[in-house]
Structure 1
């Protein structure tokens, strides 16, 4: 988890918020590009487009998403009449607890302290980390008590977001449908393109990034890989994933913070994707949750034994564990 344990541990939220606001940049950012507003022009700054209730796999699975277009994108925001812009490289980010849209975080006493890590500000950070790519930030389908992110649409979870993983929940099917409909609504695919043409389109590539609680989505996808790679619809989509980033994974359950099942990890290693584990002492050196560090070490060791393309980085190793550094891994990975 991200913020909740810090509150219990007595961290000063005000001090944390100040330091995070400084680290994340000033409060001035690009305006939200909503339906009916002017589009971007070549050479203009990136624009943020918020899409609500984007349908995914099955009628009841919908998510709000935020799209950051790369600098120089020419297609108007929300246009369904213009030609799709040329952009085949995409990044999808799954945030952690308490992270929400800026306008909603400022209304909550605890959320307001963390608005330096709102979805909009994180999208801008990722835009600098992945220049030239379209960045998608997927809001959790439920925020219990405005704090606990629950990714019910991607993985079976309790109200606090602790997952129960399985091999056939449909996380990959949901993400595929979510992106195809989101791209159509954003003008990245022509009208009807999501339903009338194969998805992903030619040249499409995808990097998946999970932070803190958001890593449960990546973990669920790992469990689904065996079936997905054999599926004629999902196979090409899974094959488009070039990179997967785990950023300081954590959740309130007592196990499965990191995937340790060797069969699932064998499928992950065989996928050929570049795998990246980025952690901080906040998660992997917490004596009250020693299993997190043990699972992380087993995740890394098993993938290395299986010959995976894996990088493993411990950030802020010589600094005391802190919620501040937990969030800062979003900037430093």
Structure 2
């Protein structure tokens, strides 16, 4: 992204389905969002909405398969409010975005994961998912291992969340009789400066107790959602798709992905903001995954980066030609391009 540092640090989110007794998914689909991490990063988990209940976020420490957090402008709310510049964007803190997504996708688990590296405190770099240059512009290939990394991260995150959410209960028994546990964090202090041994509550919501079932990979279905720079991860998955299917576990995981969202994608490179290679998109179309693209003038109408709009149009066209179910929507089309509307795509998609 050119011109504004905050755009180079979008969070990665993963929404996972709430599984009740005998229920393997919600509303026929589960949802996710962006991806991150390959050796020890923290993430935030928000419980699904319950009637007349407030949502609550839990800070999970050291998820194996995720890198440490390093100075991302879009950060936890209490960190952003103390920053001399980033306080103005506190509405888009990780907790608040997780809350927005929880309302957008009820009955889902939401995982917030950040990029693995920041260059000059401005450029998000997802080195653990795609080969990138100094500024985080992707250098896509077919065998980097993004799918394997994502799958491993999910397995580790599920295991850690079960331990954090159910520290004194037997997970198997709770899955059988649907007993619930309060959201609690087991961390004492995390490397990203977040407080430990305290429940982290989503901004503007009370610290009321939430009860929900522990997440499980068994029978789960997923939706991957990429925002801004985070879309480079979704693009890398497309390049790896053919090779990744050769692994039995990864192939099963791919088949559990039901929907993918690209939200106003962009990066600091001069091409491949949207994938337009027919051979790559043909392989993708064969998965039957539903695709949604949501863009704003900030990206697709930028005269200094005219290729973004052209690539987006071609991406949608090629997928449609291959018979894929794909939708495209531009938001705030009659308004001047702005970073605020870029962030607001979270609220309107």
292, 297, 301: which one pairs with 1:281? 297
Q: What is the CA distance between 1:147 and its match in structure 2?
A: 2.4
Q: What is the CA distance between 1:2 and its match in structure 2?
A: 7.8
Corresponding residue of 2:115: 140
Corresponding residue of 1:181: 156
How many residue pairs are counted as aligned between the two chains?
A: 261
Which has the larger helix fraction?
1
Corresponding residue of 1:27: none
Corresponding residue of 1:272: 288
Q: Are 2:277 and 1:258 aligned?
A: no
SS, match of residue 99 in structure 1: coil
Structure 1 residues 180 and 2: alpha-carbon distance in aligned structure 2, compared to 1, 3 A threshold: farther
**Root-mean-square deviation (CA), in Å?**
3.0
Q: Which deviations, in whole Å up to 9, do the C-alpha atoms of 1:263-305 show, x marking residues without a partner?
A: 1111111111110000011100111100101111110110010
Corresponding residue of 1:4: 4
Q: Are 2:314 and 1:298 aligned?
A: yes
Corresponding residue of 2:247: 231
331, 335, 341: which one pairs with 1:315? 331
Structure 1 residues 78 and 297: alpha-carbon distance in aligned structure 2, compared to 1, 3 A threshold: closer
Q: What is the CA distance between 1:3 and its match in structure 2?
A: 6.9
Moved over 4 A (4+): 76-79, 188-191
SS, match of residue 114 in structure 1: helix
Q: What is the CA distance between 1:257 and its match in structure 2?
A: 0.4
101, 106, 125: which one pairs with 2:100? 125
Contact 2:298 2:337 in 1 (8 A): yes
Q: What is the CA distance between 1:254 and its match in structure 2?
A: 0.6
Contact 1:3 1:323 in 2 (8 A): no
SS, match of residue 85 in structure 2: helix
Q: Are 2:49 and 1:71 aligned?
A: yes
**CA distance in 1 between partners of 2:122 and 2:59 (Å):** 30
141, 162, 167: which one pairs with 2:137? 162
**CA distance in 2 between partners of 1:273 and 1:6 (Å):** 31
| Correspondence list, 1:145-224, <5 A | 145-187=120-162, 201-224=217-240
Normalised to the residue count of structure 2, the TM-score between the two structures is 0.68
Contact 1:155 1:164 in 2 (8 A): yes
Normalised to the residue count of structure 1, the TM-score between the two structures is 0.71
Structure 1 residues 78 and 217: alpha-carbon distance in aligned structure 2, compared to 1, 3 A threshold: closer
Q: What is the CA distance between 1:6 and its match in structure 2?
A: 8.6
76, 89, 96: which one pairs with 1:101? 76
Q: Which deviations, in whole Å up to 9, do the C-alpha atoms of 1:35-65 show, x marking residues without a partner?
A: xxxxxxxxxxxxxxxxxxxx966xxx33332
Q: Which deviations, in whole Å up to 9, do the C-alpha atoms of 1:207-235 show, x marking residues without a partner?
A: 11111001011111111111112221200
Corresponding residue of 2:206: none
Instruction: Extract unaligned runs of 5+ from structure 2.
Output: 8-35, 61-71, 172-215
Q: What is the CA distance between 1:68 and its match in structure 2?
A: 1.3
Corresponding residue of 2:85: 110
**CA distance in 2 between partners of 1:309 and 1:290 (Å):** 26
**CA distance in 2 between partners of 1:329 and 1:307 (Å):** 26
Q: What is the CA distance between 1:115 and its match in structure 2?
A: 1.6
Contact 2:45 2:58 in 1 (8 A): no
